[in-house]
Structure 1
Amino acid sequence: MKHVTYLFLISILLQGCSGTRHSYLNLVENNNDISVLHIKKGDIVELLAIGNGFPGRWGYFPWAVSSSPEIASVDCIKSRSFIPFREPGVIFGGITCNLIAHEKGRTELYFGNKYNLSEDTYVERVDAIIE
């Protein structure tokens, strides 16, 4: 019984760990080393799910921005997932970033550190085509 109690406590504590789910990776097509995301006008697509928790972010906070927010904008809101071991966390919550397609066209999405993210400093770039 003691071991079951320890396993239960450890599983509860692990749900408080910080982490990131890169949801956009399942939607991206790679064409000649260019990442492309195809979505339809009016669609809302989850890009990132960022969990707050232990041990924290230590100066790096994952984020996404759009080069043309009038075509497709990135909207990040506080959220909480009630599914265990899924970001954002059950205990500490986190942030979910969604891409909202407003008009037909093309925009570039930049992924990287929130505190210095720009068109010059990014970790990954994805072309989003809104049809």
Structure 2
Amino acid sequence: MNKIACLLLVFCLLQGCAGTRNSYTSLIEENNDASVLRLNKGDTVELLAIGNGFPGWWGYYPGVISSEPEIASVDCENARSLLPFREPGVLFGGEICNLTAHEKGKTTLYFGNQYVLTVNSYDEKYEVIIVEE
């Protein structure tokens, strides 16, 4: 019985680990030398799910910005997952960042450290093309 209790405690603590789910990777289309996300006007898609927890982010917290928020904006909201071992986490929660396509056009998404993220300081960037339905 003691072993089962220890096992349940370990499973519970593992759910509190910090992590990220990069949901945008399934949306990327490779075109020649560029990586592109194509969306229809009015679409909302999940880009990132960020789980707070142990051991913390230590000065690096994942984030994303759009170069043209009028065309496609990024909104991050606090959330918790109801599914164990899935970000943003059951115990500590986190954030889910969604991209909303407002109007036809092009924009660039910049991914990196939220604290220093700019169009000149980023880890990854992807072009987004918004088309009419």
In which range does the TM-score fall when normalised by the shorter chain? over 0.9
SS at match of 1:12: helix
Taking structure 1 as the reference length, what is the TM-score of the superposition? 0.97
State the partner residue of 2:17: 17
| Superposed CA offset, 1:81-108 (max 9, x none) | 0100000000000000000000011100
Equivalent pairs counted in the alignment come to: 131
Q: CA RMSD in A?
A: 0.7
State the partner residue of 1:50: 50
In 2, Cα distance between the equivalents of 1:125 and 1:13? 34
State the partner residue of 1:104: 104
Query: Structure 1 residue 69 and structure 2 residue 69: aligned?
Result: yes
In 2, Cα distance between the equivalents of 1:87 and 1:22? 10
**Offset of residue 35 of structure 1:** 1.0
Taking structure 2 as the reference length, what is the TM-score of the superposition? 0.96
**Offset of residue 32 of structure 1:** 2.1
Name whichever of 49-58 and 29-38 sits farther off. 29-38
Identity of aligned residues (%): 63
State the partner residue of 1:95: 95
SS at match of 2:6: helix
In 1, Cα distance between the equivalents of 2:31 and 2:113? 25
| Superposed CA offset, 1:23-77 (max 9, x none) | 0001101122311001111111000000010110000010000000000000000
SS at match of 1:86: coil
State the partner residue of 1:34: 34
Please tell me the residue identity of whatever aligns with 2:49: A
Please tell me the residue identity of whatever aligns with 1:84: P
4+ residue runs of structure 1 moved beyond 4 angstroms? none
SS at match of 1:57: coil
